[in-house]
Structure 1
Amino acid sequence: MTELSEDDRATVNELRGAVLRLSRRLRSQRVDESLSPTEMSVLSTLARCGSATPGELARKEHVQPPSMTRIVAMLEAKGLVRREPHPDDRRQVVVSRTDEAAAMLAESRVKRNAWLAQLAEGLSEEELAVLRLAAPVLDKLAHL
């Protein structure tokens, strides 16, 4: 691994600030205000990765297992996830999203994409080209 230059460190600092501001603005475009950002993130993880045990979800979401157990219980009470017996280990459960959660996530995605598309209309062709290149890199950083 190479040491970052001073310019690269400045870029990282700018990126951090920009991602935080954009993330805050994106969160304000939520469809269901009753869900916390963490609950939305768990539903998104289930949508992206499929069913998982609470322990697997805790690792993917970078939270402690007891916290994930509480989050799953809240989502289940809202009808957005269901817990089923693990097929191989009777001591565990598998969490999956419900059809209601899938519909809510799809509606949220449409709303947020429309909002971002409207912002992107104000960018130059060169700036859009940079975004096309940056999107996969940002996704990689998000999943490291």
Structure 2
Amino acid sequence: MAPRKQSLAGTAADLNSAAIHLLRGMRAADRASGLTAARLSALSVLVFGGPTTLGRLAAAEDVTPPTMTRIVDGLVALGLAERAEHPDSARSVLVVATDAGTELMQAAAARRVEVIVAALRALPTDERRAVVDAAPALRALADDVPQRARALFRS
């Protein structure tokens, strides 16, 4: 497939559409975890980012602290997370993934990877190579987008 010339806005629109479709495609894999999307996402932050406060978890997930409290309450009730003493502040608590939460999240992440690997294998070789070559740049772009969105759309 020959690359086509397009504007940055056109590329951005294509990437936005691709991201949305990838996330929709992950829903079936994510449903196998048995958690809501909000709980699975918060658990992912805990497992892959480490213990954190409720406030930081709420900020990472872009929800209000009361909403995050409800999400964490659900994870705690399921035995997937626990509250622990904060080592530096008696007024704060840390939210920590339990071993069961870590196992569940790692299995969920593996299912997502399995789906993407299957989709990559189905691509023609030249398209698969282009995706593989672009993956590091796409990762860097994804890491940069949240701060740019916050800077552009401060609320």
Band the TM-score falls in, shorter-chain normalisation = 0.7 to 0.9
CA-CA distance at 1:75 after TM superposition: 0.8
- 2:80 and 2:97 in contact (8 A); partners too: yes
Judging by fraction of residues, say which structure has more helix.
Answer: 2
Deviates further, 133-142 or 65-74: 133-142
Deviations 1:13-70 (A, max 9, x none): 111111101111112112223x111111111111221000001111111112121111
The number of residue pairs the alignment matches comes to 138
- 2:121 and 2:128 in contact (8 A); partners too: no
CA-CA distance at 1:134 after TM superposition: 2.6
Any gaps of 5 or more consecutive residues in structure 2? 1-5, 145-155
Corresponding letter in the other structure for 1:32: S
For residues 15-30 of structure 1, the aligned pairs below 5 Å read 15-30=15-30
Provide TM-score, normalisation by structure 2: 0.81
For residues 117-136 of structure 1, the aligned pairs below 5 Å read 117-136=117-136
Deviations 1:85-118 (A, max 9, x none): 1111111100010111111112222222222211
Corresponding residue of 1:110: 110
Any gaps of 5 or more consecutive residues in structure 1? 1-5
Corresponding residue of 2:59: 59
CA-CA distance at 1:132 after TM superposition: 2.1
Corresponding residue of 1:90: 90
| Cα distance in structure 2, aligned partners of 1:105 and 1:130 | 29
Deviates further, 12-21 or 110-119: 110-119
CA-CA distance at 1:129 after TM superposition: 2.3
Task: Quote the sequence identity (%).
Answer: 34
